[in-house]
Amino acid sequence: MQAVEDVFLEDTPAMLTRRHEAARANDGAAIAAAHASKGSAGLCSQSAAYESARRVERPARSGDLVKAEAACADVEADISQLMAELRHLL
């Protein structure tokens, strides 16, 4: 059985790619649906990555794509940091 951390490290790059594609298409529903990184980050820790991913979901669902897009940059930075920390620990 694969550890949660391993799955997170394996799946997260694809989730970030889907979010980028949704943002480029100005598709708020797709951006919100791409919040799977929130749940994944939450399984690893209640870290900055979890909180920043949560901040993307609300404006995306309400159609505020400018705010959602701005929050995506924070998610990427925080998730990158979490991934680096997990790799270091593993």
- When computed from its CA atoms, the radius of gyration of the chain, rounded to whole angstroms, is 13
C-beta separation of 44 from 86 below 8 A: yes
pTM: 0.68
pLDDT band at 4 (very low <50, low <70, confident <90, very high): confident
Give residue 44's pLDDT.
59
C-beta separation of 27 from 48 below 8 A: no
pLDDT in tens, 48-75: 777 777 787 778 778 888 887 788 788 8
Domain coordinates in residue numbering, the chain = 4-89
Give residue 38's pLDDT.
63
User: Token pair of 79, please?
Assistant: 């998730």
For the residues 29-44, what does the mean pLDDT come to?
A: 63
pLDDT exceeds cutoff 70 at 40: no
